[in-house]
Amino acid sequence: MRRLPPLSLYIHIPWCVQKCPYCDFNSHALKGEVPHEEYVRHLLADLDDSMALVAGREVSSLFIGGGTPSLLSAEAMQSLLDGVRQRLTLSADAEITMEANPGTVEADRFRGYQQAGINRISIGVQSFDAEKLQRLGRIHGADEARRAARLAQGLGLRSFNLDLMHGLPNQSPEQALDDLRSAIELEPPHLSWYQLTIEPNTLFASKPPVLPDDDALWDIYQLGHQLLSQAGYQQYETSAYAKAGYQCQHNLNYWRFGDYLGIGCGAHGKMTAENGEVIRTVKVRHPRGYMQGNYLDKKYQVAADDLPFEFFMNRFRLFEATPREQFQAFTGLAESTVRQALDQALADGYLTESATHWQTTRKGQLFLNPLLELFM
């Protein structure tokens, strides 16, 4: 039976102090001051324009990403979250996450963000190696990263996350593991540990650095996974590890093919209408156009033929089992429409199947792209 999935809210803050050479997110180097109050006004107006899609549903998680959301003042964050609460019903235990850079000025604002309603902070560390940080274009040092993590821990937040990258330019397996050990020492409840990839339209794409070869990358992953497991972290998604009970609820909703409303420059959204149509939205990317009141760039219905791939592309990133009934519940399609692809995935050893669930095997987790191609 068709039903509406849980709903999350994503808010995008587009500015950074400078653009990192690996970054393909919608971020813009800051020229002058952040227009704190003006941008919050536009975010709330964007939300007003999007309310018809919400249809009175409760929001289970909120994520403020960027760019560098921690460039926004604590006062502006308070106005933003107050405005959101006036328009939407947040669940009583809603996870409210904000991304932050470890720079000293931003870290000093953490308490103000907490008072505004932030209960989870995700800190973009990337590395503890000074040379690697410089190569990545990061503006903080290792000491600032440690200070920010300790401050987040001392606030008694619901949780905090450290973002860490591996496979960096000229990085040896031992250097990658040293980074991981430094992160583990700070005892974050959640660690995002992901491999650097060269994305189109980035500085690294035009001037590619020398990255570790495939054998070194495999060593880094295997040894790092072992290190994290021994420290009590469980891998629950392709690039995410958490202590028991500390998985990121917002990201879980993404990967479970939940709905999310996106507001802010370049924000993407995926919403299920009451008639069952799956709608995708994209907001205007550049702050200049967005802050002229032009919010919506694209809005389109996902074709029925594309829904199986979109569903499994998300679900199979998670290491948890996928309830079979959710395929029809969230796509409106009968399981028979993907039976041939499922049978092939079972035969290839990518999946196991029970009466109620599909579970990716270790092979399916390691070779996700070939598995997903079966559903295209």
If asked whether residues 54 and 187 sit together in one domain, one would say yes
Any domain includes 131: yes
pLDDT digits (tens, 9 = 90+) for 226-251: 999 999 999 999 999 999 999 999 99
Same-domain check for residues 222 and 313? no
Do 244 and 122 lie in one domain? The reply is yes
Q: In sequence order, what E strands does the chain have?
A: 7-13, 15-16, 28-29, 58-66, 89-100, 120-126, 159-166, 190-195, 234-237, 240-242, 259-264, 268-272, 278-283, 296-301, 322-323, 351-353, 357-360
Residues 237 and 104 in one domain: yes
Share the mean pLDDT of the chain: 94
Is 297 a domain residue?
no
123 token code pair: 């800190």
In a domain, residue 374? The reply is yes
Same domain, 233 and 313: no
Percentage of the chain surpassing pLDDT 70? Answer: 98
- 81 and 169 assigned to the same domain: yes
CB of 66 closer than 8 Å to CB of 29? no
Tell me: do 112 and 222 sit in the same domain.
yes
Instruction: Quick: pLDDT tens for 276-298.
Output: 999 999 999 999 999 999 999 99
Both 193 and 87 in one domain: the answer is yes
Residues 6+ apart with CB under 8 A from 349: 361, 363, 364
Last residue of a domain, one of 253, 268, 293: 253
Q: What is the DSSP letter of 338?
A: G
Q: What's the pLDDT at 16? A: 84
User: Strands 7-13, 259-264: parallel, antiparallel or unpaired by DSSP?
Assistant: parallel
The last residue of a domain, from among 216, 237, 253: 253
What domain count does the chain have? Answer: 2
How does DSSP classify residue 70?
A: G
Strands 58-66 and 28-29: unpaired
The pLDDT assigned to 105 comes to 59
DSSP string of 50-67? HHHHHTTPEEEEEEEEES
CATH number at residue 361: 1.10.10.10
pLDDT-based confidence at 24, cuts 50/70/90? low
pTM, whole model, 2 decimals? 0.94
Residue 368: pLDDT band with limits 50, 70, 90: very high
Residues 191 and 309 in one domain: no
Residue with tokens 């990317």: 285
For residue 169, what is the domain's CATH number? 3.20.20.70
State the DSSP H helix or E strand holding residue 81, giving kind and residue range, or none if neither. Answer: helix 74-87
Answer whether residue 87 shows pLDDT above 60: yes
* Structural domain boundaries, residue 335: 304-376
Do the Cβ atoms of 4 and 278 come closer than 8 Å?
no
